[in-house]
Structure 1
Amino acid sequence: MNLEEYIASGILDSYAIGAVSDQEVREVNCLSSIYPEIRKELDELMLSTENYALLHSIEPPAGLKDRIMRQLTFEDADETIVRPLPIDRDLSAEATRPYTYKTSWMVAAAAALAVLFFSYFLITQLQTNQKTMASLRESNDSMQLQLKQLRTSQGQTDQILAMLRQPGARTLELRGNEKAPQGDMLVFWNPSTQQVAVEVKSLPALPADKQYQLWSLVDGKPVDAGVFDAGTAVQKMNRSIGKADAFAVTIEKRGGSPTPSMATLLAMSPVA
């Protein structure tokens, strides 16, 4: 999409003064939430339009409404109404002057009221649009955060895939014992690069002060392989494991423990 051509098309100017269709409103709202350039231009136009409306707003003089209503109901007729003249005589300029003055004054007053009402309408529309734009900004910020999280998750997944494509990569499935009968997770391990990652499919949620800890068993001795949380995303461990006869999972205090708590052992699987 050519953003410069779209901005120069004038649709943002029309949007700022409320002269667009419902379809165009939806289009501008959507594009401004996606493209920062369009949103910035629209914000500037909306601010300029609001400043223009406030600068040119007209404060109606005191008693304007009462004077207009008297004129519309032709009160005080003795001061403004034209006296009847004989049919065979032409109306003189002096006789028609009160009527002309009255008509001009009424037109000017009606125009002033129209400008006043339009200014009020425009300011109300601008305030509504500002609230809508604030809501759209919040939605856009939320979408940006979700997008950032997805990109982070995608980056981690790409790292795991790169690790699995290397020669010697292995995938082990660990299923829970009687303490976690529904427990199920995968361990990705590459002895050549000594990288380890886990993917939790199903594990019980833990208190805030607890974490799952992965262990590799080497000649019957447990080696810390890192801690992880019960999530669906692939998590890369921050420990290097070059040798393992089996992998096991226990529940430890947050941050991990130097030795496993065998009473909290949830799963163990040998390396085939």
Structure 2
Amino acid sequence: MIANDDMHDLLAAYAVDAVSPEERSIVEVALAGDPQLRKELDEHRTVLALLAEAVDPHPSTPSPLVWDQISAEIAGVDEVSPKLASVRDIQAQKRFSRWTATLAFAAMALALLLGVSVFQLQQERGTPAFETAIQELLDDPSAIVATLEAAGTVNADARIVLGSDGVGYVYADSLPVLDASRTYQLWAIVDDRVISAGVLGADPDNSPFQVVGDVAGFAITEEVAGGVPVSEGETIAVWLRNA
């Protein structure tokens, strides 16, 4: 007989289709005789359905140009690229375990909650509540405060403050105003990926964003208006955590 905690882990893995045929059979037998487990599975699937609408399931990867620029800033292309290639090879060979699937589901639920929080902050921009939230984060000793420095020919920088809950603010009002057909876009460097953290507009101000994971750096690029899933534009400013 499977322990109760193991069954809950299996159920989370089952919800994201990360179980073996044998484990699938065990879960389906348990579901047939346990209405509480069926209710829990429905809750898992509801969260996944909401995430499918609210969160891009395919994290963006950088264009070769952007990643080369970031890699060069870190330590040089020749040193960084083999390391990243090794990480990608290992990740490609990994199969979801029950433990990994449970963590993945928890991370997805957290992403949904953070997305709602950022939406609320966007609605409050320019209000006293918005300014108070920024000040409280600046006063938090655990927050990351980062200054993005110019990475190319544009004389520009930006500042970011990021809380331990993954909610942050980017101060980009010093960036030069772009043509209406262009926009600035914020990217977060998480592990060996560069994921979009928000479209800032052609004349950016202070903007909230959210990111899930251990952030190694940030970059701001110039893209076509509306933003892009994969950057092909010029890198304007970069900050690297351990540089």
Q: Structure 2 length as normaliser, TM-score? A: 0.44
Q: Structure 1 length as normaliser, TM-score? A: 0.39
Q: Which has the larger radius of gyration?
A: 1
